[in-house]
């Protein structure tokens, strides 16, 4: 629905909104919220500034829309961790899914990282409610596996944090990774093998 008219959006309106959001994702992921401007986003979208402002009245509204869409995508890999599955394989599969997100959604990862670095002014409430509730729930699952002797004793929250750090690094610091490894190597393929070995040795009881 179009919030301004309460009428369904036309195909052109839907397309223009998607074009604006994709252009904004590129601009925000490069320059952060503070460095981005409405003019830059309009230019990247191939639209006039007044046309862009018809769909989104401010830079902040575009940014909040992107972050709201991203939060669901960001939580999906952790939601998929199955309490009934094999503990080691479930945790390794989660790490692989997060690594795949670094490959498939590098701009989204940088957008999220920029928001967090700035103190999460636009998604702070979601972090302390939706994200925290999900992480706490999965931490209880991992703690239960540890208590049952199915995996080694680990701090479940810090295990999840370490997976975030060791996978999102490949999106947020892609230029640095590729500069160090050189053009002949495949960072994400190598990372998958390395992280599988690292976490498997950590988790096996």
Residue 73 pLDDT? 86
Q: For 38-84, how does the pLDDT look when each residue is reduced to its tens digit (9 = 90+)?
A: 999 999 999 999 999 999 999 999 999 999 888 888 899 999 999 99
Classify domain 66-203 at the CATH superfamily level. Answer: Tetracycline Repressor, domain 2 (1.10.357.10)
Residues 6 or more apart from 202 whose CB is under 8 A from it? 152, 154
Superfamily of domain 11-57: Homeodomain-like (1.10.10.60)
Report whether pLDDT(118) > 80: yes
Q: Comparing C-alpha atoms, which of 185, 192, 190 is closest to residue 97? A: 192
**Start-end of CATH 1.10.357.10 domains in the chain:** 66-203
pLDDT, tens digit, 9 for 90 and up, residues 13-41:
899 999 999 999 999 999 989 999 999 99
Where along the chain do the CATH 1.10.10.60 domains lie? 11-57
β-bridge partners, 2:
7
Confidence of residue 4 (pLDDT cuts 50, 70, 90): low
pTM comes to 0.86
For position 72, what pLDDT does the model report?
83
Residue 16: Cβ within 10 Å count: 19
Alpha-carbon gap, residue 111 to 25, rounded angstroms:
7
Q: By the 8 A CB rule, do 200 and 152 touch?
A: no
* Contact call for residues 205 and 149 (beta carbons, < 8 A): yes
């Amino acid at each position: 629905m179009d919030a301004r008219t309460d009428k369904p959006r036309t195909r052109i309106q839907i397309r223009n909104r998607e074009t604006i959001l994709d252009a904004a994702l590129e601009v925000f992921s490069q320059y952060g919220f503070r460095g981005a401007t409405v003019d830059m986003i309009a230019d990247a979208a191939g639209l006039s500034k007044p046309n862009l402002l018809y769909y989104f009245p401010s830079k902040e509204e575009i940014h909040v829309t992107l972050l709201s869409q991203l939060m669901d995508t960001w939580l999906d890999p952790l939601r998929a961790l199955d309490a009934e599955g094999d503990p080691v394989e479930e945790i390794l599969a989660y790490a692989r899914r997060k690594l795949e997100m670094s490959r498939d959604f590098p701009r989204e990862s940088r957008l999220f990282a920029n928001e967090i670095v700035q103190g999460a002014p636009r998604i702070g409430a979601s972090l302390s409610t939706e994200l925290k509730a999900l992480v706490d729930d999965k931490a209880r699952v991992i703690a239960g596996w540890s208590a049952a002797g199915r995996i080694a004793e680990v701090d479940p929250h810090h295990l999840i944090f370490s997976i975030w750090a060791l996978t999102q690094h490949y999106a947020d610091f892609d230029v640095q990774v590729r500069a160090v490894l050189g053009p002949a190597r495949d960072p994400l393929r190598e990372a998958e093998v390395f992280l599988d070995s690292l976490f498997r040795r950590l988790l096996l009881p």
